[in-house]
Amino acid sequence: MYSYAGEDSAPIRAADLARLASQRAAELTTDGVQLHPVVATSRKLADHFWGSAWMRHLALCEAGGLCLSPGRTLLRHGCVLDLKIAPCSIHALVSAQELYEVKLSLKPLDDEKRLTLSTACAGNVGSLVALLEGHANDDLLHTLCDPENGLLPTPGDWHMSCTCPDWAEPCPHASAAIYAAGVLIDREPSLLFTLRSLDPAALIVPPEADAPAPLDSSALGKTFGIDIDL
């Protein structure tokens, strides 16, 4: 059975989640609503670097006491009918006992974190593609994925809102949206940078080049047989 605190209606069976989600998606589509559903196609929910880092980070949050497992159940049964990622925000429609609207907002990265990330990346990432694919040395990846100071949001960074009557934070529908965001990030890593309102290209900067050595006018004069007054 699937249920959660704060819901007055009878618990819904997990087997019925997919059926209800499919019915609601069909009704919304008929009404002209354009949906962007998120479907988990992998048991691990992620197969690539940034998506896997997102899922590992959520596992750490769950080990720290955050209740996220009901959200995984909803995601796996196709209940995230729509999800959009924008700078510092996620908007989702999640089907469960009813259809719920989820709004998640994130604190923007502060200047200190931005500087730390930029400094760590400077001269250590070969290209934007390499950054998005997670191809970098271990020290840099450790910095980027640091649980407290990296790109991945901490529990305290989130502000969560859902139309459900659940008093928990996150409620199952919010946690489903957070997991679904990780699935999208796994497919399109640039969405992580969109979510953190950070231009990944800004991190791909070369280290400061050494200043050129001053010209030796006397040596140049001897070489070319002329007097050079600099």
Q: Is residue 182 part of a domain?
A: yes
Q: What is the pLDDT of residue 32?
A: 96
Q: What is the pLDDT of residue 210?
A: 43
Mean pLDDT by 10 residues, the chain (230 residues): 46 85 96 95 90 95 88 95 98 96 94 89 87 91 92 93 90 96 96 94 64 46 48
Q: What is the pLDDT of residue 122?
A: 85
Report the domain count for the chain: 1
Q: What is the pLDDT of residue 211?
A: 38
Q: Is residue 100 part of a domain?
A: yes
Q: Is residue 63 part of a domain?
A: yes
Task: Report whether 52 contacts 44 (CB < 8 A).
Answer: yes
Q: Is residue 226 part of a domain?
A: no
CA distance 85 to 90: 5
Q: Is residue 58 part of a domain?
A: yes
Q: What is the pLDDT of residue 223?
A: 42
Q: What is the pLDDT of residue 169?
A: 84
Residue 110 φ then ψ, to 5°: -80, 170
CB neighbours (10 Å) of residue 165?
15
pTM check: above 0.75: yes
Q: What is the pLDDT of residue 206?
A: 58
Structure tokens at 122: 């400077």
Q: Is residue 72 part of a domain?
A: yes
Give the structural domain span for 55. 14-113+158-198
Q: Is residue 164 part of a domain?
A: yes
